[in-house]
């Protein structure tokens, strides 16, 4: 079954907002075993939106439109779909009352005349409740085989509606059971990962493998269909085993909901170890990421933001000679920062980050994007250097990911108490 996404909104075309809805819907529909060939973005223009809908109906079984269901004059999705299908619009009293109740719960003013437009529904449509806003969704049957689905644009509204109502509807159209498993990889770029699994992808039928770049990680989602869940999961198992064999310790989890930081905190707990952080260019982001994990207080001792050379010397004991001869951005400094953090916090493990995040401060010898990461476990220290691309924020974010992954890899070699 082929599905197509149409994102509606001039603000998306202009780059005023990032279209996260299309990515979310693509991933979720892939899990449901639906095939997606096209994703289209259209501004708030009736003629262009009409053309996009007609084209989508010619080549796809399911068309999902997101956005354009609001109360303002440029929210034209409902009306445009109705015109394309030759359907009438009708007001639904229940939705009218829901809008009234919503405004009362929010303690807001009375709805305006524009708000009541959201109570208008395409004739023959199945109404989908919106528990996070005032614009209901709709499932509109086009004929015996095709459907148009209308969903609100705000991501928090779209995601809840999809999970509660749209996903079950789509799953019901597919008579086979769909299961998936995600293999999460750190320390390898998307293109390299794709190369490693290219033969599997070329030969795939069922299960299928899809790669997703996830901010310093690559996720491989294996999706299989079967007569029941047991059969689908059985066909996934050998693929997961093969991926683990190919990628080795670069695989950190196969749990969909587990993040890298959650995995690291879990490792520390199992090994009954504590950790400290020493950060320069990341400014506390490593510590913050770890602390975001519930229960991190059991393993996180202290975090040090030593941005200046003086702080590195005073708090972490980095040698004056090291800073003078090697510089703050150096292998030696990262090593001494990690050692110093472990000692100061009385922790068995420590991670350090020092680098040049830019946009200024780089030299020919030490360019912007050069980052050293140190890891100290039981007084033994390892240092890795990276040359990263991107703006200041991206370099810092990827540095955090690299630091946590480095800690993870070395923790794996520590015997559990």
Instruction: Report the DSSP pairing between strands 62-66 and 126-128.
Output: unpaired
3 state SS of 24: helix
* Per-residue pLDDT at 415 exceeds 90: no
Q: Do residues 328 and 310 make contact, with C-beta atoms less than 8 angstroms apart?
A: no
Q: Which CATH architecture has domain 260-411?
A: Alpha-Beta Complex (3.90)
pLDDT band for position 113 (cuts 50, 70, 90): low
pLDDT band for position 379 (cuts 50, 70, 90): very high
pLDDT band for position 139 (cuts 50, 70, 90): very high
Whole-number mean pLDDT of the chain?
A: 93
Q: What is the pLDDT of residues 277-302, one digit of tens each?
A: 999 999 999 999 999 999 999 999 99
Q: Do residues 389 and 355 make contact, with C-beta atoms less than 8 angstroms apart?
A: no
Does CATH place domain 177-253 in 3.40.190.10?
no
Q: What is the pLDDT of residues 395-414, one digit of tens each?
A: 999 999 999 999 999 999 99
Question: Mean per-residue pLDDT for 230-235?
Answer: 93
pLDDT band for position 30 (cuts 50, 70, 90): confident
pLDDT at residue 76 in the model:
96
CATH topology of domain 2-173: Molybdenum Cofactor Biosythetic Enzyme; Chain A (3.40.980)
Q: What is the pLDDT of residues 267-279, one digit of tens each?
A: 999 999 999 999 9
Question: Mean per-residue pLDDT for 115-135?
Answer: 88
Q: Which is nearest to 171 in space by CA: 29, 360, 16, 23?
A: 29
Q: What is the pLDDT of residues 63-99, one digit of tens each?
A: 999 999 988 888 999 999 999 999 999 988 888 777 7
Quote the percentage of the chain above a pLDDT of 70.
98
pLDDT at residue 116 in the model:
77
pLDDT at residue 91 in the model:
87
Q: What is the pLDDT of residues 161-213, one digit of tens each?
A: 999 999 999 988 876 778 889 999 999 999 999 999 999 999 998 999 989 88
3 state SS of 91: strand
- The DSSP element (H or E) to which 120 belongs, if any, is strand 120-122
* Per-residue pLDDT at 104 exceeds 80: no
pLDDT at residue 108 in the model:
65
Contacts of 210 (CB under 8 A, 6+ apart): 30, 220, 221, 223
Domain map (residue ranges) of the chain: 2-173, 177-253, 260-411
pLDDT at residue 109 in the model:
66
pTM: 0.75
pLDDT band for position 101 (cuts 50, 70, 90): confident
- Burial class from Cβ neighbours inside 10 Å (0-12, 13-18, 19+) for residue 112 reads exposed
Q: Compute and round to an integer the Cα radius of gyration of the chain.
A: 26
pLDDT at residue 72 in the model:
85
Q: Which two tokens stand for residue 208?
A: 């299928």
pLDDT at residue 94 in the model:
82
pLDDT at residue 179 in the model:
86
Residue 320: CB atoms within 10 A of its CB come to: 10
Question: Mean per-residue pLDDT for 29-47?
Answer: 92
Whole-angstrom distance, CA of residue 247 vs CA of residue 76: 48
* Per-residue pLDDT at 112 exceeds 70: no
Length of the chain: 417
3 state SS of 162: helix
Distances (CA, A) of 52 to 83, 125, 145, 352: 13, 20, 19, 51
């Amino acid at each position: 079954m082929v599905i197509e996404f149409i994102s509606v909104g001039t603000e998306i075309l202009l780059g005023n907002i990032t279209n996260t809805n299309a990515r979310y819907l693509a991933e979720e529909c892939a899990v449901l075993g639906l095939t997606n060939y096209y994703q289209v973005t259209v501004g708030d223009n009736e003629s262009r939106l009409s053309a996009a809908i007609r084209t989508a109906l010619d080549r796809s079984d399911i068309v999902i439109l997101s956005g354009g269901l609001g109360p303002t004059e440029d929210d034209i999705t409902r009306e445009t779909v109705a015109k394309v299908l030759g359907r009438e619009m009708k007001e639904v009293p229940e939705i009218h009352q829901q809008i009234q109740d919503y405004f009362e719960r929010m303690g807001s003013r009375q709805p305006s005349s524009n708000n009541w437009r959201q109570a208008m529904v395409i004739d023959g449509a199945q109404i989908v409740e919106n528990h996070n806003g005032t614009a209901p969704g709709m499932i509109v049957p086009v004929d015996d085989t095709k459907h148009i689905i209308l969903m609100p644009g705000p991501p928090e509204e779209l995601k809840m509606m999809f999970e509660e109502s749209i996903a079950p509807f789509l799953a019901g159209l597919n008579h086979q059971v769909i299961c998936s498993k995600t293999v999460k990889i750190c320390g390898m770029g998307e293109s390299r990962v794709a190369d490693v699994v290219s033969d599997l992808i070329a030969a795939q039928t069922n299960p299928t493998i899809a790669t997703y770049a996830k901010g310093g990680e690559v996720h491989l989602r294996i999706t299989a269909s079967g007569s029941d869940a047991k059969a689908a999961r059985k066909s996934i198992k050998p693929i997961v085993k093969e991926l683990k064999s190919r990628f080795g310790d670069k695989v950190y989890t196969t749990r969909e909901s587990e993040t890298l930081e959650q995995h690291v905190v879990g490792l520390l707990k199992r090994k009954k170890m504590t950790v400290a952080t020493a950060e320069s260019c990341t400014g506390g982001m490593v510590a913050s990421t770890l602390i975001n994990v519930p229960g991190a207080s059991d393993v996180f001792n202290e975090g040090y933001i030593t941005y200046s050379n003086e702080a590195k010397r005073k708090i972490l004991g980095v040698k004056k000679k090291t800073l003078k001869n090697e510089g703050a951005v150096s292998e030696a400094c990262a090593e001494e920062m990690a050692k110093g953090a472990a000692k100061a916090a009385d922790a068995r493990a420590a991670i350090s980050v020092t680098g040049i995040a830019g946009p200024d401060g780089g030299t020919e010898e030490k360019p912007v994007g050069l980052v050293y990461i140190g890891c100290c476990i039981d007084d033994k220290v390892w240092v890795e250097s990276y040359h990263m691309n991107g703006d200041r924020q991206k370099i810092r974010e990827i540095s955090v990911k690299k630091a946590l992954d480095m800690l993870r890899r070395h923790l794996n070699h520590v015997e559990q108490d």
